[in-house]
């Protein structure tokens, strides 16, 4: 490798999602030179996801080459047939969606690109329930966080202010300052839901602008956040943290640059990082600190792939915990037909949230909570194709007349629940399948235990009850984690903790052994929370880590 | 070989050739759907009806064919489905599927799916693809209440009851 193939920076961050992006912003604003590597491309919102075409609904978030990582699934568990009727995925248009006797690995939903998976998120910006931080102490299950809600609260507030989060104060999550943006008013369908339901519904706290902010316009309620926001009112990491970090002049952003391995050196320090910038083009990059922020599937993979004689079990894997404690998105969605036209294809994808069952012990006889949202557009029912294909049986003239009559009548309730660690849920290296560099792909192992199934049953039952209360009892589609692995939120594979025997990083996100190696993504979460979306917590941890690393740089450590 | 032997063998050869021809007919798998069959099938899923145009009025079969160019596996599956449907039609009525009235074509699709459950997944796949193309057409979606592509307008009225109510 020649001299020109070498690069240097104070801090090298791998991955530009909310963990990498917030950290880069924090460091750059404190005068630190940062090199941010991103395996995927940079997107131009107005060009790449305009949402103006007649056939917009045919296109999910655009995935050009290299914008999705490859991975495999280990065989998933056999299905308990007695639960098929209660928890099996189905819809009116296609019938049962999993006809096999096994859980099916559908997708780990993510984006490789500048901004990471916030590019296709719906903007949910949740704080974790304070009691989620001490689930082991309170319930003897899972793991405690080494920090508490109070320690993270100022960083939550800072992240919300930087992104421009809109929300409404909610008693279970104490705040030191009000939301920076007023909450979005619920849509017409959500109003009908809130008026009819016996549960407590709040405007969802969202990284979606309710007022213009820093040159970005307010939302125009088009409903298609998860296909990419062309207006940039959605606060994805590329248009918030990274845009501002670039403006500081201290950030060097390298899209389409894939970290191949970290080089563990002597004295418990990482010596360098090897990255690929194209076919047979490699760079050796050196910094004082190295931060991995690739998400709970790719981060453990990179650590395991970086094994050498200094780190024979994989980097930072002295405890054998790298890849363990994998937690997924335990989800359920029920969709019913309302007798009246609600225009439910309009508005925010998940405008109302119910936290009534979010605390770790809020579900009767189950540990680990859940939350519910009004999620008609989030589930894709914001256009005629989804309605015609999934929510209506048949075809022909009658089918079309029926669609015309009931378009905008669908109402969906979505639920996401706590996912707890299980020995059979983990990330390993695939023994056979390899990537373009000849490195093993990440292999996802997932197992739902009895408690997870019971939580899922509660989520399904409650979703149906809510639909019934609002008058949308004619079910048209239901699907969930019972027979599909389908996860956007993934956690836990490089757990944060006080004990080096049972965790990978300490309370600052630093490897217990490798003194210049940090992790800044949801891999470090000891627990998933009761259905909260993780991106705000990841960003808050990233900002907190920036302060910590900047202090160490100041002390010349 | 004597002429007499040849004459004796000729009918047998003809029978063998006919057998092969029949076998080839049974085993032959088209790679792309027959255009006439495809048009008839799509016009059965989307017949002209009041303000709604028929699939053929939107040249849907051409768009599907373009889509098949990138999905050879799906093209083969659809070709097989339509081939079986046409054979089913000839067995039931002595007429090819495309020669029937709309009502008869609907009935033929229904009876085929009842009889051959293994074709259901191919049908579901083709139905989904056809819906994607049909409901992407402005002539079609403009007849749906209060609907348009998400941008550039968005739905600033999202808090109000739908305008058509």
What percentage of chain A has pLDDT greater than the value 70? 99
pLDDT number for residue B121: 87
pLDDT score of A279 more than 90: no
Break chain B into its structural domains and give their ranges. 40-138
Instruction: Place B31 in a pLDDT band, splitting at 50, 70 and 90.
Output: confident
Q: What is the pLDDT of residues A412-452, one digit of tens each?
A: 999 999 999 999 999 999 999 999 999 999 999 999 999 99
Could you give the CA distance from residue B162 to residue A193 in angstroms, rounded to a whole number? 15
pLDDT score of B136 more than 60: yes
Nearest CA in chain B to A99: B121
Q: What is the pLDDT of residues A54-99, one digit of tens each?
A: 999 999 999 898 899 999 999 999 999 999 999 999 999 999 999 9
Could you give the CA distance from residue A26 to residue A32 in angstroms, rounded to a whole number? 9
The lowest-confidence range among A176-180, A191-195, A288-292, B117-121 is B117-121
Q: Give yes or no for a contact between A292 and A524, defined as CB atoms under 8 angstroms apart.
A: no
In angstroms, the separation between the Cα of residue A350 and the nearest Cα of chain B is: 13
In angstroms, the separation between the Cα of residue B83 and the nearest Cα of chain A is: 20
Nearest CA in chain A to B138: A54
Mean pLDDT of B122-134: 94
Q: Is there a contact between A340 and B165 if contact means CB atoms under 8 Å apart?
A: yes
pLDDT score of B1 more than 60: no
CB of B148 less than 8 A from some CB of A: no
Q: Is there a contact between A222 and B132 if contact means CB atoms under 8 Å apart?
A: no
Q: Is there a contact between A407 and B147 if contact means CB atoms under 8 Å apart?
A: yes
Q: Is there a contact between A341 and B144 if contact means CB atoms under 8 Å apart?
A: no
Beta-carbon neighbour count of residue A161 at 10 Å?
13
pLDDT number for residue B32: 81
Question: Which residue among B146, B147, B151 sits closest to A51, beta carbon to beta carbon?
Answer: B151
Instruction: Place B120 in a pLDDT band, splitting at 50, 70 and 90.
Output: confident
Identify all chain A residues contacting B154, using CB atoms and an 8 Å cutoff: 219-222
Mean pLDDT of A313-328: 98
Could you give the CA distance from residue A26 to residue A222 in angstroms, rounded to a whole number? 32
Whether A278 maps to a domain, the answer reads yes
Q: How far apart are the first and last CA of chain B?
A: 88
Identify all chain B residues contacting A407, using CB atoms and an 8 Å cutoff: 144-145, 147
Closest alpha carbon to B135 in A57, A409, A95: A57
Q: Is there a contact between A52 and B159 if contact means CB atoms under 8 Å apart?
A: no
pLDDT score of B5 more than 90: no
Q: Is there a contact between A57 and B132 if contact means CB atoms under 8 Å apart?
A: yes
CB of B72 less than 8 A from some CB of A: no
CB of B11 less than 8 A from some CB of A: no
pLDDT number for residue B12: 65
Identify all chain B residues contacting A347, using CB atoms and an 8 Å cutoff: 155, 158-159
Q: What is the pLDDT of residues A372-383, one digit of tens each?
A: 999 999 999 999
Q: What is the pLDDT of residues B39-97, one digit of tens each?
A: 999 999 999 998 899 999 999 999 999 988 888 888 999 999 999 999 999 999 999 99
pLDDT number for residue A6: 76
Q: Is there a contact between A408 and B145 if contact means CB atoms under 8 Å apart?
A: yes
Structural domain of A280: 3-48+69-554
pLDDT score of B118 more than 60: yes
Identify all chain B residues contacting A388, using CB atoms and an 8 Å cutoff: 131, 135
Question: Which residue among A187, A341, A383 sits closest to B158, beta carbon to beta carbon?
Answer: A187
CA A152 from centre of chain: 19
CB of B117 less than 8 A from some CB of A: no
Could you give the CA distance from residue A301 to residue A306 in angstroms, rounded to a whole number? 9
In angstroms, the separation between the Cα of residue A403 and the nearest Cα of chain B is: 8
Q: What is the pTM of this model?
A: 0.94
Beta-carbon neighbour count of residue A67 at 10 Å?
18
Q: Is there a contact between B136 and A58 if contact means CB atoms under 8 Å apart?
A: yes
Q: Is there a contact between B135 and A51 if contact means CB atoms under 8 Å apart?
A: no
pLDDT score of A310 more than 90: yes
Whether A260 maps to a domain, the answer reads yes
What percentage of chain A has pLDDT greater than the value 90? 97
pLDDT score of A175 more than 90: yes
Beta-carbon neighbour count of residue A537 at 10 Å?
26
pLDDT score of B26 more than 60: no
pLDDT score of A44 more than 90: yes
Q: Is there a contact between B151 and A404 if contact means CB atoms under 8 Å apart?
A: no
Q: Is there a contact between A54 and B149 if contact means CB atoms under 8 Å apart?
A: yes
Identify all chain B residues contacting A231, using CB atoms and an 8 Å cutoff: 151
Closest alpha carbon to A470 in A411, A416, A415, A408: A411
CB of B4 less than 8 A from some CB of A: no
pLDDT number for residue B24: 52
Q: Which of B106, B118, B155 to mutate to test the interface with A (most CBs of A within 10 A)?
A: B155
Q: Is there a contact between B155 and A51 if contact means CB atoms under 8 Å apart?
A: no
pLDDT number for residue B16: 65
Q: Is there a contact between B145 and A407 if contact means CB atoms under 8 Å apart?
A: yes
Q: Is there a contact between A54 and B161 if contact means CB atoms under 8 Å apart?
A: no
Could you give the CA distance from residue A328 to residue B100 in angstroms, rounded to a whole number? 52
Q: What count of CB pairs under 8 Å joins A to B?
A: 129
Identify all chain A residues contacting B141, using CB atoms and an 8 Å cutoff: 54, 384
Nearest CA in chain B to A92: B124
Residues 6+ apart with CB under 8 A from A97: A88, A89, A90, A91, A479, A483, A484
Say which CATH number the domain at A469 has: 3.50.50.60
**A208 or B17, greater pLDDT:** A208
Closest alpha carbon to A38 in A108, A115, A117: A115
In angstroms, the separation between the Cα of residue B53 and the nearest Cα of chain A is: 10
Beta-carbon neighbour count of residue A359 at 10 Å?
17
CB of B106 less than 8 A from some CB of A: yes
Q: How big is chain B, counted in residues?
A: 165
Closest alpha carbon to A139 in A434, A316, A441, A367: A367
* Inter-CA distances, B149 with A184, A219, A503, B152, Å: 22, 15, 48, 8
Q: How far apart are the first and last CA of chain A?
A: 28
Q: Which of A219, A346, A401, A406 to mutate to test the interface with B (most CBs of B within 10 A)?
A: A346
Mean pLDDT of A239-261: 97
CB of B115 less than 8 A from some CB of A: no
Q: Is there a contact between B145 and A57 if contact means CB atoms under 8 Å apart?
A: no
Q: What are phi and psi of A316, to 5 degrees?
A: 65, 20
Could you give the CA distance from residue A394 to residue A261 in angstroms, rounded to a whole number? 52
pLDDT number for residue B27: 53
Q: Is there a contact between B144 and A221 if contact means CB atoms under 8 Å apart?
A: no
Could you give the CA distance from residue A226 to residue A121 in angstroms, rounded to a whole number? 5
A71-73 vs A440-445, strand pairing mode? parallel
Nearest CA in chain A to B162: A343
Could you give the CA distance from residue A276 to residue A254 in angstroms, rounded to a whole number? 11
CB of B165 less than 8 A from some CB of A: yes
> How many domains are there within chain A?
1
Q: Which of A208, A228, A377, A389 to mutate to test the interface with B (most CBs of B within 10 A)?
A: A389
Instruction: Place A280 in a pLDDT band, splitting at 50, 70 and 90.
Output: confident
pLDDT number for residue A162: 98
Q: What is the pLDDT of residues A467-511, one digit of tens each?
A: 999 999 999 999 999 999 999 999 999 999 999 999 999 999 999
**B24 or A526, greater pLDDT:** A526
Identify all chain B residues contacting A54, using CB atoms and an 8 Å cutoff: 136-138, 141, 149
Q: Is there a contact between B147 and A185 if contact means CB atoms under 8 Å apart?
A: no
Could you give the CA distance from residue A282 to residue A263 in angstroms, rounded to a whole number? 14
């Amino acid at each position: 490798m020649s001299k020109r193939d070498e690069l240097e920076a104070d801090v090298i961050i791998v991955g530009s999602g909310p963990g990498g992006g917030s950290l880069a912003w924090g460091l750059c604003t404190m005068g630190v030179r940062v090199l941010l590597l991103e395996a995927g491309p940079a997107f131009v919102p107005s060009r790449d996801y305009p949402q103006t075409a007649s056939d917009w609904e045919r296109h999910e978030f655009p995935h050009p080459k290299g914008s999705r990582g490859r991975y495999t699934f280990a065989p998933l568990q056999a299905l308990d047939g007695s639960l098929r009727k209660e928890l099996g995925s189905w819809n009116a248009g296609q019938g049962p969606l999993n006809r096999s006797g096994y859980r099916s690995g559908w997708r780990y939903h993510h984006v490789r690109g500048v901004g990471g998976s916030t590019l296709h998120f719906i903007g949910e910006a949740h704080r974790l329930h304070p009691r989620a931080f001490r689930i082991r102490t309170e319930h003897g299950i899972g793991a405690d966080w080494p920090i508490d809600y109070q320690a993270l609260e100022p960083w939550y507030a800072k992240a919300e202010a930087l992104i421009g989060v809109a929300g409404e104060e909610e008693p279970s999550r104490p705040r030191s300052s009000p939301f920076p943006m007023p909450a979005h008013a619920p849509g017409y369908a959500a109003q009908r839901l809130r008026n009819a339901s016996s549960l407590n519904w709040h405007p969802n706290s969202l990284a979606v602008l309710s007022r213009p902010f820093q040159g970005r316009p307010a939302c125009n309620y088009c409903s298609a956040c998860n296909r990419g926001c062309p207006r940039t009112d959605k606060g994805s990491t590329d248009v918030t943290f990274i845009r501002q970090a670039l403006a500081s002049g201290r950030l060097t952003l390298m899209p389409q640059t894939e970290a191949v391995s970290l080089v563990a050196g002597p004295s418990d320090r990482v010596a360098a990082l090897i990255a690929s910038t194209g076919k047979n083009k490699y760079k050796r990059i050196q910094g004082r600190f190295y931060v991995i922020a690739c998400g709970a599937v790719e981060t453990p993979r990179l650590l395991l792939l970086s094994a050498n004689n200094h780190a024979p079990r994989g980097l930072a894997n002295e405890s054998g915990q790298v890849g363990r404690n994998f937690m997924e998105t335990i989800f359920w969605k029920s969709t019913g037909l309302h007798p009246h036209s609600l225009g439910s294809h309009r508005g925010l994808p998940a405008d109302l949230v119910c936290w009534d069952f979010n605390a770790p012990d809020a579900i009767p006889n189950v540990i680990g909570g859940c939350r519910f949202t009004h999620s008609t557009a989030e589930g894709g029912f914001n256009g005629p194709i989804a309605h015609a294909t999934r929510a209506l049986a048949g075809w022909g003239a009658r089918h079309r007349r029926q669609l015309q009559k009931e378009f905008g009548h669908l109402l969906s309730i979505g639920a996401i629940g706590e996912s707890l660690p299980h020995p059979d849920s983990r990330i390993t290296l695939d023994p056979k399948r390899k990537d373009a560099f000849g490195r093993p792909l990440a292999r996802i192992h997932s197992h739902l235990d009895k408690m997870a199934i019971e939580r899922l049953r509660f989520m399904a039952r409650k979703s149906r009850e809510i639909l019934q209360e609002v008058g949308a009892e004619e079910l048209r589609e239901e699907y969930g984690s019972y027979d599909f692995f389908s996860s956007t939120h993934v956690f836990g594979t490089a757990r944060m903790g006080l004990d080096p025997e049972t965790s990978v990083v300490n309370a600052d996100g630093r490897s217990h052994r490798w003194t210049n190696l940090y992790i800044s993504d949801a891999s470090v979460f000891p627990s998933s929370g009761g259905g909260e979306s993780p991106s705000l917590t990841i960003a808050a941890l990233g900002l907190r880590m920036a302060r910590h690393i900047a202090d160490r740089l100041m002390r010349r450590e | 070989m004597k002429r007499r032997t040849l004459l004796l063998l000729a009918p047998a050869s003809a029978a063998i050739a006919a057998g092969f021809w029949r076998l080839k007919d049974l085993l032959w798998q088209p790679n792309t759907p027959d255009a006439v069959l495809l048009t008839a099938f799509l016009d059965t899923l989307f017949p002209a009806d009041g303000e709604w145009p028929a699939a053929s009025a939107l040249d849907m079969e051409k768009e599907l064919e373009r889509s098949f160019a990138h999905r050879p596996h799906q093209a083969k599956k659809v070709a097989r489905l339509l081939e079986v449907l046409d054979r089913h039609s000839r067995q039931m009525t002595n007429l090819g599927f495309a020669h029937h009235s709309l009502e008869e074509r609907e009935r033929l699709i229904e009876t085929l799916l009842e009889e051959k459950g293994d074709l259901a997944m191919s049908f579901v796949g083709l139905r989904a693809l056809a819906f994607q193309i049909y409901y992407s057409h402005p002539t079609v979606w403009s007849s749906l209440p209060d609907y348009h592509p998400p941008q550039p307008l968005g739905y600033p009225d999202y808090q109000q009851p739908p305008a058509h109510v």
